[in-house]
């Protein structure tokens, strides 16, 4: 059996009881280690908690065949641990399909991921549109396909969850060129950098998918003991220090009800200013008021 087990967001004890019981049965345990990190626990703490050796699985191991992971999984129990949920931000459908082709049974044990826990900022999950990813811009690579997606969401009044880039086990171009397996320290995008990139592309395009005054919610260390939220305009958040990673951002859409706004105001530095920003922003992409059809006279 191959168990795909979500670890939740932060604590070792965020694993479900069923997930933990399953790990105990496994002869090998892998931790997916390239799309996210568990914030309040180290690898050693996980190993102690599970009473098992935990092998780190990097992108290469998972995407190039998964042979090592699936080895003997038709006869033994193997666990593949994923921070958040196994089908959260990154799906592991490929691993499941490969397992099924080898007649290996698969059991998924779900957990919270940023995709649903983001609801704790107070905005209804119902009103989120498509999710976008923001990657680190480089001098020569400034991908902005997310821009149109935010625009599409906002045109129909929806919020956008922006997931921020993390780089683990990254090689410098020099080391890569020389074939040296030396890795750079991990990097996590901050909310301020994300907002700067948002503003840069908006300035470049000038089509007002959002503006510097568009309200947003900065989410820091979601699910961790030091979790915090900050409501502000994109411009305000671009100057804001939100502390340790991981960070995410929600760009508001028009559909923000009174109760949701009341909740967001708790996280605003200047409540009145934020409320004003929301009211103004709600005017964008507002549908035309309904006009009764002109009745034709007989």
Query: Which residues make up the interface to a second copy (CB under 8 A)?
Result: 6, 8-9, 11, 13-18, 20-21, 85-89, 91, 93-94, 96-97, 100, 108-113, 115-117, 119-120, 122, 124-133, 152, 156, 158, 223, 259-260, 262-263, 266
Distance of CA 282 to the CA centre of its chain: 25
Say if CB 240 and CB 132 are below 8 A apart.
Answer: no
In the complex, minimum distance from the CB of residue 21 to a second copy, in angstroms, rounded to a whole number: 7
**Which ranges constitute the DSSP H helices of 252-291?**
258-265, 271-281
What are the backbone dihedrals phi and psi of residue 105, each rounded to the nearest 5 degrees, phi first?
-70, 145
Residue 113 or 238 with smaller CB distance to a second copy = 113
Taking the complex as a whole, the smallest distance from the CB of residue 86 to a second copy amounts, in Å, to 8
Q: Between residues 117 and 218, which has the closer beta carbon with respect to a second copy?
A: 117
CB 254, min distance to a second copy, A = 12
Q: What is the b/e burial string over 81-94, where b = at least 16 CB atoms within 10 angstroms of the residue's CB?
A: bbbbbbbbbbebee
From the CB of 237, what's the least distance to a second copy, in Å? 21
The tokens describing 227, both together, are: 């979790």
**Phi–psi pair at 177, nearest 5 degrees:** -60, -35
d(CA 79, CA 168): 22
Closest contact distance (angstroms) between CB of 111 and a second copy is 5
Residues making up the binding site for S-adenosyl-L-methionine: 9, 85, 88, 113-114, 164, 222, 247
Q: Helix or strand or coil: residue 134? A: strand
| Distance, CA of 11 to CA of 38 (rounded, Å) | 7
Which residues make up each annotated binding site?
A: 9, 85, 88, 113-114, 164, 222, 247
């Amino acid at each position: 059996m191959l168990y795909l087990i979500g670890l939740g967001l932060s604590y070792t004890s965020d694993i479900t009881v069923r997930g933990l019981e399953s790990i105990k049965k496994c002869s090998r345990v892998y931790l997916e280690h390239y799309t996210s990190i568990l914030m309040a626990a180290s690898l050693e703490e996980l190993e102690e908690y599970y009473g098992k050796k935990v092998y780190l699985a990097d992108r290469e191991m998972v995407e190039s065949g998964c042979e090592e992971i699936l080895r003997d999984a038709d006869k033994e129990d193997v666990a593949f641990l994923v921070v958040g949920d196994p089908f959260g931000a990154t799906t592991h459908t490929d691993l499941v399909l490969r397992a099924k082709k080898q007649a290996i049974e698969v059991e998924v044990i779900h957990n919270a991921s940023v995709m649903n826990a983001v609801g704790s900022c107070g905005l209804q999950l119902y009103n989120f549109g498509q999710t976008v990813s923001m990657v680190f811009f480089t001098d020569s690579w400034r991908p902005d396909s997310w821009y149109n997606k935010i625009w599409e969401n906002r045109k129909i009044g929806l919020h956008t969850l922006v997931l921020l880039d993390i780089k683990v086990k990254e090689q410098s171009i020099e080391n890569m060129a020389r074939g040296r397996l030396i890795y750079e320290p991990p990097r996590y995008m901050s909310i301020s950098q994300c907002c700067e990139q948002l503003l840069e592309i908006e300035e470049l395009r000038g089509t007002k998918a959002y503006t510097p005054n568009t309200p947003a919610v900065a989410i820091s260390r979601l699910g961790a003991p030091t979790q915090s939220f900050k409501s502000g305009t994109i411009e305000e958040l671009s100057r804001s220090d939100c502390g340790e990673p991981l960070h995410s951002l929600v760009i508001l859409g028009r559909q923000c009800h009174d109760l949701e706004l009341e909740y967001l105001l708790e996280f605003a530095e200047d409540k009145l200013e934020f409320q004003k920003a929301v009211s103004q922003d709600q005017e964008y992409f507002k549908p035309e008021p309904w006009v009764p059809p002109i009745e034709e006279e007989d």
